[in-house]
A and B are shown apart, each in its own frame.
Chain A
Amino acid sequence: MDELNEIDKKLIQQVLKEQDQEAESGFTATSTTLAGLITSRPESWLRAVGVSLLRSKMPSERILGSRMLRELKSERDSNASLIAEQLRVEDQNSVTVWLLYALAFLHVQSTLPIVLEFANHESPEVREAVPDAISGCSGESLPPSGRDALLLLAVDANDQVRFSAVFELGRWWTSGLVDPQIHKALIQAKVDSHKLVRDAAADALRQAL
């Protein structure tokens, strides 16, 4: 942040303020300033600021940094590596969630191993983000390690985690991945206690017919 001029510093402060308001509203509010920055500023500027924010001591700034970096079309590998590095040392679950979703958007397969380390995380919000990141980082085919993590999360104690995993298993199943274990997991999920999970499994099985 120190290298920014005064106008840019104020803009970032404004975006951070709006991000706080987004968080207070359960992320139903929208930061128009962030949208404006992403569409108007060069990627080089967004990357420089995003990297700087990602290394901040403030959790909200690290979240904003990940939101900027995940939007960039250039230097995806490098940006994903930076986010993965932060993921390894991150101590705030709220930031970890955003970092995992950022990796889901960047589609860099080399980050899958670090994603898988969070499949057993104590926070259900973090575990819920893992299936998205697995699918996002897996490329054209789901590796066995990714499949095993999804199967584990599909029977998680938390229903939102189960939905997240069953949905991704369903997407792989309907995309043509033939795997008896995935099929078995979807069959089991059809009778889950939570409607979202049941619907996700039923939709996938129906589409694959």
Chain B
Amino acid sequence: MNGSDPTGLCNQPGTNQSLVPGPCEFSNINWVHQAEDYLQSQNSGGFSITRGLEGVADFYEGAANSVVSGVTLEHVHIAESFPCVGTWQYTAGGIYGLVSVGVLGGAETEAPSAADEFGLGIEGSPEGVEPGWGPGTPKAGQPPDDVPKVPTQSYGKAQVPSWVTNGGYTPYFGETPAETATRIMNEQYGEGNWSGTGPGSEYSQILKWASRHFG
């Protein structure tokens, strides 16, 4: 796996002391499987999220080369290479988000060469999938013509908390911006575990982002 490490760090000894030692907090990967199942169902079964995990594992193996998770995915056993960077949920969320954007995001599929850098491959074509709408999208109806299908502003990432875009959060078709913001906050913090919807709050930032970029 080290052969595809983009930085060559895999040849370095494991000296990174900042990673949290011990077993990974999240070892249950049902969430990843669900993500993969969904993406495959949307993509005629041609997509493998594990390729993305391999790619990221390659990089962090070199960067960390210490803590590992004990996870076996459907296609690839990566227990000896995937470091516990942050949490499984977060890291996998980032991958899922990136992959989701690649599969579902229309124009984005051509842009993020970072995906290639980490071996995030997309196999097959996402026929019948509306670009710009996230996993779990209700299938009834089509978005109206005047609704932007993809984010239109260059600084979308600057305007919203990084965990939103890094976590792959995106509006679902049929949601209002307020529903999107509430759902994302609930998923991030847990229902009832967050407060503050006033100007400048994270909720308000997400609401603005959803209103502006996804209509």
Which residues of A come within 8 Å of B, CB atoms?
5-7, 10-11, 13-14, 17-18, 21-36, 38-42, 45, 67, 71, 97-98, 101, 104-105, 107, 125, 128-129, 132, 135-138, 140, 142, 160, 163-164, 167-168, 171-172, 175, 195-196, 199-200
CB-CB contacts below 8 Å: B95-120 with A: 95, 97-98, 101, 105, 107-108, 111-115, 117-118
Residues of A within 8 A of B173 (CB): none
CB of B80, distance to nearest CB on chain A (Å): 19
- Give the nearest-CB partner of B83 in chain A: A40
B157 touching A27 by the CB < 8 A rule? yes
CB-CB contacts below 8 Å: B178-215 with A: 197-200, 204-205, 208, 211-212, 215
Question: Looking at the complex, which one of A11, A29, A129, A175 makes contact with B155 (CB distance below 8 Å)?
Answer: A129
B162 touching A67 by the CB < 8 A rule? yes
Show 11 A/B contacts (Cβ-Cβ < 8 Å), sorted by A: A11-B9, A25-B108, A27-B155, A28-B150, A28-B151, A31-B166, A39-B86, A101-B155, A104-B200, A132-B200, A135-B199
Residues of A within 8 A of B90 (CB): 35, 39
- Give the nearest-CB partner of B161 in chain A: A105
- Give the nearest-CB partner of B160 in chain A: A101
B111 touching A25 by the CB < 8 A rule? yes
A163 to B95 CA separation, bound complex (whole angstroms)? 32
CB of B128, distance to nearest CB on chain A (Å): 21
A199 touching B211 by the CB < 8 A rule? yes
Most B C-beta atoms less than 10 A away, residue of A28, A98, A167, A199: A28
CB of A160, distance to nearest CB on chain B (Å): 7
Q: Is B20 an interface residue (CB 8 A)?
A: yes
A101 touching B158 by the CB < 8 A rule? yes
A42 to B20 CA separation, bound complex (whole angstroms)? 10
Q: Is B125 an interface residue (CB 8 A)?
A: no
Residues of B within 8 A of A7 (CB): 9, 12, 15-16, 63
Residues of B within 8 A of A26 (CB): 111, 151, 153-154, 156
- Give the nearest-CB partner of A150 in chain B: B199
Residues of B within 8 A of A163 (CB): 212
CB of B78, distance to nearest CB on chain A (Å): 15
CB of A183, distance to nearest CB on chain B (Å): 16
Q: Known: A29-B112, A40-B20. Contact between A175 and B199, CB under 8 A?
A: yes
CB of B105, distance to nearest CB on chain A (Å): 7
Query: Given A7-B16, A39-B87, A199-B211, list of 9 further CB < 8 A pairs?
Result: A21-B113, A22-B112, A29-B114, A31-B166, A36-B85, A132-B159, A160-B153, A175-B198, A175-B199
Residues of A within 8 A of B198 (CB): 140, 171, 175
B155 touching A97 by the CB < 8 A rule? yes
A17 to B20 CA separation, bound complex (whole angstroms)? 26
- Give the nearest-CB partner of B16 in chain A: A7
Most B C-beta atoms less than 10 A away, residue of A18, A29, A128, A136: A29
Residues of A within 8 A of B27 (CB): none
- Give the nearest-CB partner of B106 in chain A: A28
B199 touching A28 by the CB < 8 A rule? no
Residues of B within 8 A of A39 (CB): 85-87, 90-91
Q: Is B7 an interface residue (CB 8 A)?
A: yes
- Give the nearest-CB partner of B65 in chain A: A7
A71 to B115 CA separation, bound complex (whole angstroms)? 24
Q: Is B133 an interface residue (CB 8 A)?
A: no
Q: Known: A10-B9, A30-B101. Contact between A167 and B211, CB under 8 A?
A: yes
- Give the nearest-CB partner of A31 in chain B: B114
- Give the nearest-CB partner of B115 in chain A: A29
Residues of A within 8 A of B20 (CB): 40
Residues of B within 8 A of A23 (CB): 154
Task: Identify the 5 closest CB pairs spanning chains A and B, nearest first.
Answer: A39-B86, A29-B112, A25-B111, A135-B200, A135-B199
Q: Known: A107-B200, A171-B204. Contact between A27 and B154, CB under 8 A?
A: yes
Residues of A within 8 A of B86 (CB): 35-36, 39-40
